[in-house]
Each structure stands twice: as C-alpha cells, then as structure tokens.
Amino acid sequence: MKYRLFFLFAFILLLFPVSGCKPTPASLMAAVKADNTEEAKRLIGKGADANSRTSPTGWSALHYAARNGNVEIVQLLLSAGADPNCSGAMEGQTTSVISLKPLVIARANLDLVSQIPASRMEETLRENGLDDPALVKSMKDPKAADRYQTVVDALSKVTKN
C-alpha cells in the first residue's frame, strides 16, 4: 500500500512538463553566439541568466550580441538585466591579454564595417582568424554599419566610462 501511493505520486510528477525548468547559461550563450534571436528570446523568457558568461572572466552573452551587431538581442539582454560594464576576455585568451566591455567590441566592429567593403569582409575576417559564421554573416550584411551604430548607441547610454 505504501509503495502504491509512492508510484502514483511519481506518475503524477511525470505528467508535468519539464519545459518549465530554468535554462542553463550554456544554452543562452549558444543561442547568442549563433545569433539566434528567437531562441535567445525564448530562453530569456524562461528565466535564463542575462549575465551568462563563457567562464568567470570570459565574455558575457552581451559581448557576443554586441560582436554580432544584433540590436534585438542587445536590447533584450539589457532589459533582462545584463551588465553592460562587465569586462571579459574572449575564449582562448587570458584576461591579462585583453579584457573588453561590450561597447568597445561594438565600436571596433563599427569601425571595421565602415572601412572594409562588404565584398572583402569575409576574406579580411578569415585572414585575421575571425571566421565565426555568425560574425561573418553579420559583418557582410550591407546594413551592418547601421546595426552596429544602433548597438553602439544603446550601449553608450548604459555603459560607464
């Protein structure tokens, strides 16, 4: 009799969807790195941490959104409480090498898209080891300068110098 009640309770628990669980930081980072706006929205809506990082001193989700020039994800993360003032080093780098805020990354990419023609962008990025598909796609976009300028403007309003 005791076990029958236990199994009934366990069965009832199985009926509840697991989809209500809070997403892992890795899932949000993967969506933002891949420039997947819809997935980032869904994960933030389910309570993903807007300050997710690649490592304790690594880039945050906001760093990658700024790097990709994704205005919508930048605004989504800021609205969800992402810290625009956190500095971090990109994966594979030590923090002593270079530690940047998202605004610095967005400004650097704005400079690049303003100086390099879209027709040469992919080649230039690959020559410099920046062959991430989301970044290449973003920076080859003819409207990239406008997007990066919007990201720079949004981050400038909330970043401390």
Classified as helix, coil or strand, 22 is coil
Question: Could you tell me what percentage of the chain is helix, strand and coil, using 3-state DSSP and rounding each to the nearest 5?
Answer: 60, 5, 35
SS3 58: strand
Q: Which CATH number does 21-158 carry?
A: 1.25.40.20
Interval 108-116 mean pLDDT = 93
Give whichever of 23-27, 87-91, 106-110, 130-134 has the largest mean pLDDT. 106-110
Residue 1, classed as helix, strand or coil, is coil
User: If you ran DSSP here, which 8-state letter would residue 117 be given?
Assistant: -
Whether residue 115 has pLDDT greater than 70: yes
- What pLDDT, on a 0 to 100 scale, did the predictor assign at position 11? 58
How far is residue 99's CA from residue 94's CA, in Å, rounded to a whole number? 8
> 114 falls in which pLDDT band (50, 70, 90)?
very high
pLDDT digits (tens, 9 = 90+) for 50-104: 998 878 888 999 999 999 999 999 999 999 999 999 998 887 665 555 789 999 9
Every domain of the chain and the residues it spans: 21-158
- Averaged pLDDT score across all residues of the chain: 86
pLDDT, position 98? 74
The pLDDT value recorded for residue 158 is 96
Percent of the chain with pLDDT over 90: 63
Q: Is a pLDDT exceeding 70 seen at residue 10?
A: no
For residue 154, the model assigns a pLDDT of 96
pLDDT at 146 over 60: yes
Confidence of residue 4 (pLDDT cuts 50, 70, 90): low
Per DSSP, the residues of 61-107 read: HHHHHHHHT-HHHHHHHHHTT--TT--BBPTTS-TTT--B-HHHHHH
